[in-house]
Chains A and B, each alone.
Chain A
Amino acid sequence: MASNLWIVIVCIPIILLIGLTIFLRDPTNRTNRTYGFFSLAAVSWTLSNYLSEVRATNIWLLRLTFLSGVLIFYTVTQFIVSMKSAQSIKFEKSITIFKVSSYLVAALSLTPFFVISESPGNAGSSINTGFGYVIFLVYLAFAFIYVISMMIYERQHASTVIAKKQLSIITLGVIIYAILAIGANVVLPLLVNNWSSSNYGPIFTLVFVGVLAYAIIRHRLFDIRLVIIRSLGYVLSFGLIGAILFFALLNLGYITSKHDVPIKIDSIYFALLSLLFAILLNPAKQIFDRLTMRLFYRDAYKTQDVLNNFNKLLVSTIRAKEIMNATIKTLKQYIKVTNVSFVVHDPDDTHRTFGDMEEVFDEQFLKSITNELKGNHKKLLFVDDIEGITEDLRLLCLKYNISAFAQLIDSSLKKPIGVLLLGYKKSGERYLPQDQQLINILVDELSIALQNALRFEEIELFNVTLQAKVDEATKELKITNKKLKALDETKDDFISMASHQLRTPLSIIKGYVNMVVHGDAGKISKQQKEFLEQAQISSETMVRLVTELLNVSRITSGKFSVDSNPVNLADIVENETQQLTNMAKERNIELNFQKPKDFPILMLDEEKIRQVVANFIDNAIHYSKDKGAKINVQLTSKDDIIFEVIDNGIGVPPNEKEYLFTKFYRAKNAKEARPNGTGVGIYLAKVVISELGGNLIFESKEGIGSTFGFRFKKDKIVQPDSKS
């Protein structure tokens, strides 16, 4: 009977420990929970079985034993049910039926119909059972068949290889357990009418637990491998040190194997050995920890290290592609995910896929995922855990091998940036709490990094677009500019050609008229001479105009140049003034000029400066007012050489002053006063004066008068005095 006690003492703690560990590992997980309940049921059964042996007269203990038996079956089936993936709905109805029947039989076991009494016997007690027991047997048979068939079905339809393996082992374990347990507790007693074999029940439970432990370690069921391995480390180190000490004590003769001889231990040696034990324990434990970790747990990683590395990668880039690559790399390297993909939302409602799913993405899938994410508060969703997942989504996830997805959100705009899609882990096992925690943090960090990268992309794109538009506009401008230049050249060419063509006939007219006027063709009357002189004036005007136009075109084409010869400016001014006096008189304009004495000779272009002088005086005449017009022509050489034509004419409007000296420009009031002006005269004057190294003099007040002129520095002087 002592052996029974040993069995109970050993089995119960182990079952409880493993049950508790598995339960605490992930209380939210149904599988873990049902295993916990199974452990309780197993412990209850073990205890009540033992106690019913010891206190054979207590009916209730017997009943409790059988109740526990039913509960064991019930919890095992629930355990199996929880292990099936959320996918198969095949057994839904039958599970409910099973549940109900289990409750019924459990209740039944407490009734007198089940166990009537127990009568102690010599070779162990025998139990008198009622007809409820038959129902119980039927229930057992069905339950057994039901569980086995469900397991086989699940195994066939398991989605991953790892699930298949797990289910195979568990099926095997359950079968062995059921056979042994039922055999020992039900069949054998029926046949032999001896219930002593039921005492071995706990051992069979232990066998089942062992099988489970094997599944845990080898095929990572429940993923409590780490716990087991650590415990292994502890056990081995304790065991080793303990064994050493035991043998030391033994050899020192302080412990004998006979239990009736008292153990005599010298307190000093004992104390020393205890100290040794304490000192050696930790290093030994560390050694074993490392060993077992290296042997069994190669997939471990430190979350903080991974995050540090990941952060380094994130910080090194602003490109969305590189961020996504870094994330994929990290996930694959540490969590050993098989496929990772990103879907990024672009501003114009299009999407970009990146990663393993790049080629095969579809719109429908994205919609379903987004909907699912909207309705769920969690950031990271696991396909297998989604309650009430739509069939479409489930199938799509299956098709694309997606086991989890997470929403990436722009923290400031609260808008979704995209979705992260994860496949299954390479090992096939679930995502650990550590994995989930890591993924959650990664998602947060990469959301921020990605949103920055996307904004950066937007800005870049904007820049590129802007640049392209500017380039295009510039190109257009350049083309237009070219056209304008060509047009300008054409115009200038035309002017040049026209001027040339006009010159020859002009000179001929001049020539002949000149000859007749001078009497070379015979004597002419006074009137004839007068008329011809008028004709001459006009032809002179024409020549002047043509020359001006030609000069303008030369300026544009760069062929314009000024000569530098000794010129008597005083004479020129006198000449021109004289020539224009008649015109002035006819318009009742007073034209004054005082020729200065001893005016120096200057290095100028005679012909061109003459044109300038003539132009200024001519303008003054034509832009005078109707009454009281007065023009003063002044020439001085006191400090600088200054030539000025001062009039009291119509003046220049202030807003037109800056344009006045440009090619072909005519002020509004000038156009009115003289419709036939070319707008070329003072433009030429400006160019000539500038080419000669002088400065233009211009002042004007609209309606009051103007002053036009030029100034040269004294370095233009050739001789101090003019020679007559």
Chain B
Amino acid sequence: MDDKKRILIVDDDDQIAKMYTALLTIKGFATKRVNNGEDALAEVQEYKPDLILLDVMMPKISGFDVADILHNTIETKEIPIIMLSALGAKEDRDRAAASGVVHYYVKTEIDTESIAKKIDEILSQK
């Protein structure tokens, strides 16, 4: 049996993080949560996730900056990132795309089942 795939959840909102943790756990993933960008970067090195669920609006460093850094670091370049945003503006999407983020979703517009399905898709492609 494969090890559970590891997903790093990066979100400063506790409620959101809790929900995604519950969802992904039920779906059979291993999860770890950090609540800010700095910790996220550190944790990526440590935890070595298979996928990162990244919130955009965070204090100190924003999700974009994290994505940028991850994209520009050789070890972390290949890790797929799903960005979750309360916004949905085009500039934000474009910016995310520039950092190599393929998947960008607005929190309220995507439901949990779809996210879970998507994650499956991505990880099965790897």
Tell me the A residues contacting B by CB distance below 8 Å.
500, 503-508, 510-512, 514-515, 518, 520-521, 543, 546-547, 554, 559, 561, 563, 607
Contact = CB atoms under 8 A, between A and B. Distances in A.
B27 A520 contact: yes
Nearest to B87: A500
Contacts of A546: 108
Contact of A515 (B90, B108, B112): B112
A515 B22 contact: yes
Main secondary structure of the interface of B (DSSP, over half): helix
B85 to A, nearest CB: 10
A505 B15 contact: yes
Nearest to B19: A511
Contacts of A512: 19, 22
B121 interface: no
B109 interface: yes
A673 B107 CA distance: 33
Contact of A504 (B16, B22, B23, B27): B16
Contacts of B15: 504-505, 508
Interface string B9-37: 00001011001101100110000000000
Given A504-B107, A508-B16, A543-B108, 14 more contacts: A503-B86, A504-B16, A504-B86, A505-B15, A506-B108, A507-B107, A511-B112, A514-B112, A520-B26, A520-B27, A543-B109, A546-B108, A547-B109, A561-B89
Given A507-B108, A510-B108, A515 B23 contact: yes
Contact of A511 (B23, B27, B89, B109): B23
A508 B19 contact: yes
A311 B13 CA distance: 92
Nearest to B110: A507
Interface residues of B, number: 18
Given A511-B19, A515-B26, A520-B23, A559 B107 contact: no
A504 B13 CA distance: 9
Q: In this complex, which of B90, B109, B112, B113 has the most chain A Cβ atoms within 10 angstroms of its Cβ?
A: B112
A284 B122 CA distance: 133
B111 interface: yes
A554 B90 CA distance: 12
B86 A521 contact: no
A503 B23 contact: no
A521 B16 CA distance: 17
Contact of A500 (B16, B86, B90, B111): B86
A343 B86 CA distance: 81
A511 B26 contact: no
B108 A547 contact: yes
B89 A559 contact: yes
A514 B113 contact: yes
Contacts of A514: 111-113
